[in-house]
Amino acid sequence: MAAILLYDTTLRDGTQREDLSLSLEDKLTIAKRLADFGMHYIECGWPGSNPKDAAFFERAARLRLGPAKLAAFGSTRRKDSRCEQDANLQALVAAGTPVVTLVGKSWDYHVREVLATTPEENLAMIRDSVAWMKQQGREVVFDAEHFYDGFLADPAYALATLRAALEAGPSGSPCARPTVASCPGRWRRSPARWRAACPRRAWACTATTTAAAPWQTRSPPCAPAAGWCRAR
């Protein structure tokens, strides 16, 4: 029977709501509570994004968290650049966490309109970043951003982004952060298609869910709000 591993995003996704601001001591206390609760992975923020997060990673290295692992969050390399010259990736390494979570685009619309690059370059960005971070001795989690919407628009390309991450080393199955538009019950059977694309990989999801909008209250419960793949 496959093990179920819990990955918590309270200290990053959970702090993005309106009128919520955690102090450094708040974040350290929450990390300890999450570890005591039994979370296997605790995502803690984006190194280099602000002084508070930088101070958190410095202090968090001295926390006694038992088997829980801290994860630093960041993006794949920039387009047309090298990993070793990417400031974001360098900040992730400097954070000193055993786990690094890399978010990458899996919706072709975002690749064109947000990254302003080609689908091929985006796949290279994912593959290169995961492989380079593994070379730095980190366990890697790949966060396939807006995978559900990307899968609806172009299933082949969305799955190609998962394969790009897996080819670079991850041993679990990437999943995504659905938007409200991705919640209806048509997604209930989709995981079987993703598993078929990555048959040797085990699924794992966070405990958080995306709330349905009022006009979707009759739809089945939403899919998990985030998922991940890991590379040991």
Work out whether the CA dihedral 144, 11, 2, 66 comes out positive or negative. Answer: positive
pLDDT tens-place values along the chain, 232 residues long: 557 778 888 898 877 777 888 899 999 999 999 999 999 999 998 887 778 888 899 999 899 999 999 999 999 999 999 999 999 999 999 999 999 999 999 999 999 999 999 999 999 999 999 999 999 999 998 888 888 888 889 999 998 998 898 888 654 444 444 443 444 455 555 556 656 655 444 343 443 433 333 333 333 333 333 444 444 3
Reference 142, options 30, 17, 227; nearest CA is 227
**Among 1.10.30.50, 3.20.20.70, 3.10.20.90, 3.30.565.10, what is the CATH number of 7-199+218-231?**
3.20.20.70
Integer CA distances (angstroms), 120 to 35, 59, 86, 112, 164, in order: 39, 39, 19, 11, 10
Give the pTM: 0.79
- pLDDT at position 38 is 93
pLDDT on residue 188: 55
The predicted pLDDT at position 1 comes to 54
pLDDT tens digits for 10-38?
A: 898 877 777 888 899 999 999 999 999 99
The pLDDT assigned to 12 comes to 86
- Dist CA 123 CA 111 (whole Å): 10
Token reading at 100: 């690094």
User: Contact at 8 Å (CB) between 210 and 176?
Assistant: no
